[in-house]
Structure 1
Amino acid sequence: VKTPVVEGDQVVIRNVMSMTLSVDHRVIDGAMGAQLLEAIVAHLENPIGMLA
């Protein structure tokens, strides 16, 4: 989705994707779920890194 984003002092249009993770907190806690989402985001932002 194209969304206005502030970069420095300017508003620019960027593609933005929302991600949601739903987990059973009896199995995994929120911190570990957040780490998983961070890893997914890192791979999406730099797909070449998955080849190494």
Structure 2
Amino acid sequence: MPAAHCLVYENADEGVTAARAAGMYVVDVRHLPTTPEGGPDSDAKGEKLLDWQVGSA
């Protein structure tokens, strides 16, 4: 499968950099909420959904 058709979920700067260098789409999971909607951290972490770093090289 060509790298341009891949979607990678990463949790480290090195992985994000490597995936982008390979031409893959990347979701930086560090920006996803860690609690269900309405949980104790939902307000602070829910905003992060708007900052998903999805993109390609």
TM range (shorter): under 0.3
Larger Rg: 1
Which structure has the higher relative contact order (CA within 8 Å, separation 6+)?
A: 2
Q: TM-score, normalised by structure 1?
A: 0.26
